[in-house]
Amino acid sequence: MAPRFLLHHAPKSRSMGSLWLLEEASAPYEVQWHDLEAGTHKAPGFLAVNPAGKLPALVDRGPDGSWNVVVTEAVAIAAYVADLCPEAGLAPTIGTPERAAYQFWMAYGPGVAEPAMADAAFPRAKPAPPMALGWPDLPTVLARIEGALDGRDWLVGNRFTAADLTVGGLLAYMAMFGLIQPSPVLARYIGAINARPARQRALAMKAPA
């Protein structure tokens, strides 16, 4: 039987986080590699999987191979797999204080930190009215994350979770491309993110020749 999960993935795309996630979860999966320059993510076959023509897209075949469930959007995939693989410890138990903090940080990455990053990288010709945006500027975002990490290694509880994958992965991306100059606290956190063996394995993977 084929592995439970099929990840549609292209290097140097948001799907890298999903590949890393599957490695962290020790989940059974295979990869459908895409070539962004060739536009394979816009081909009819893939548009049948994700009409938005975006990566990542995760196909869940179910525990016995009888499903054909598609999950798109990186944070949705992260939350989905973390809950399906509790033995990996990537998501705190529902009904605990740690779960509340986890839900916040899972949303904070794509809903606040990424828009703030985009605003900093691609500034508007004219600033938007303060009441028009649901996120602060990037320095405020970084300060919020730094405050949460003061005196601790990870965002939630005492262990790495999918919230660190979502938020920390974004910080690592920003640092790699020079979009931020990390403070000592954030530099330590990004270093711990980059040192994750699962992340290193994901980054090292190459499409078949």
Using only C-alpha atoms, the chain has a radius of gyration, in whole angstroms, of 18
- Quote the pLDDT of residue 27: 98
**In 10 A of CB 104, how many CB atoms?**
15
Pick the CATH number of 97-197 from 2.40.30.10, 1.20.1050.10, 3.40.50.2000, 3.30.70.60: 1.20.1050.10
- What is the 3-state secondary structure of the chain? CCCCEEEEECCCCCHHHHHHHHHHHCCCEEEEECCCCCCHHHCHHHHCCCCCCCCCEEEECCCCCCCCEEEECHHHHHHHHHHHCHHHCCCCCCCCHHHHHHHHHHHHHHHHHHHHHHHHHCCCCCCCCHHHCCCCCHHHHHHHHHHHHCCCCCCCCCCCCHHHHHHHHHHHHHHHCCCCCCCHHHHHHHHHHHCCHHHHHHHHCCCCC
Q: What would the mean pLDDT of 159-173 be, rounded to a whole number? A: 98
Q: Rounded to whole angstroms, how far apart are CA atoms 145 and 131?
A: 22
- Quote the pLDDT of residue 130: 79
Residue 209 pLDDT exceeds 90? no
pLDDT band at 81; cut points 50, 70, 90: very high
Q: Rounded to whole angstroms, how far apart are CA atoms 48 and 61?
A: 16
pLDDT digits (tens, 9 = 90+) for 17-47: 999 999 999 999 999 999 999 999 999 999 9
Q: Rounded to whole angstroms, how far apart are CA atoms 96 and 18?
A: 25
Residues 6+ apart with CB under 8 A from 125: none
pLDDT digits (tens, 9 = 90+) for 136-157: 999 999 999 999 999 999 999 9
Residue in 150, 152, 146, 184 with CA at minimum distance from that of residue 167:
146
Q: Please tell me the CATH code under which domain 5-89 is placed.
A: 3.40.30.10
What's the mean pLDDT when you consider all of the chain? 97
pLDDT digits (tens, 9 = 90+) for 45-78: 999 999 999 999 999 999 999 999 999 999 999 9
Going from N- to C-terminal start, the domains of the chain cover: 5-89, 97-197
